[in-house]
């Protein structure tokens, strides 16, 4: 299968933004435990959440440039199960990042700590689900 240069560039940008989103989230608990809550809040609101939005933009660009096997016609089928599930996964990750993790980063209460841990855990699970959907494309 041959891919256009534009498709390859979008694919690269999509993967790079996924690294920017999920790379830091893998060490959020360690950063927070070491007393870096203020810095972590900056990373989350200035880098992670915007990169999460760009992840969707580049992913939708890839979907829009997708071609069915053996066709030159560009087709964007929202009926593909893997794509719908990926969008739902992304929406959940965005909601968790904004409504669960962001407010709990600098809050030192026990409830905030539980929300933070739950948010990071949900994010890790969402990352794995997203990878599975992107690699195997179930329902395609």
Query: pLDDT tens digit string along 41-54?
Result: 999 999 999 999 99
Q: Indicate if the pLDDT at residue 73 is higher than 70.
A: no
* Cα dihedral 20, 67, 3, 80 sign: positive
pLDDT given for residue 18 in this prediction: 96
Alpha helices in the chain (DSSP H): 5-26, 28-33, 37-43, 49-65, 81-95, 102-104, 110-136
pLDDT given for residue 40 in this prediction: 95
Q: Which of 123, 120, 91 is CA-nearest to residue 104? A: 120
User: Which DSSP category does 73 fall into?
Assistant: S
Angle between helices 5-26 and 49-65 (to 10 degrees): 150
Higher pLDDT, 100 or 70: 100
């Amino acid at each position: 299968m041959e891919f256009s240069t534009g498709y390859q560039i979008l694919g690269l940008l999509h993967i790079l933004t996924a690294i920017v989103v999920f790379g830091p989230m893998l060490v959020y608990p360690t950063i927070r435990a070491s007393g870096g809550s203020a810095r972590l809040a900056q990373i989350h609101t200035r880098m992670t959440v915007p990169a999460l939005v760009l992840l969707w933009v580049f992913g939708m660009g890839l979907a829009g440039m997708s071609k069915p096997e053996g066709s030159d016609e560009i087709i964007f089928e929202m009926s593909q199960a893997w794509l719908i599930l990926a969008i739902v996964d992304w929406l959940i990750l965005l909601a968790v990042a904004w409504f669960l993790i962001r407010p709990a980063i600098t809050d030192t209460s026990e409830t905030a700590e539980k929300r933070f841990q739950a948010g990071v855990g949900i994010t890790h699970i969402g990352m794995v689900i997203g990878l599975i959907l992107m690699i195997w494309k179930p329902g395609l």
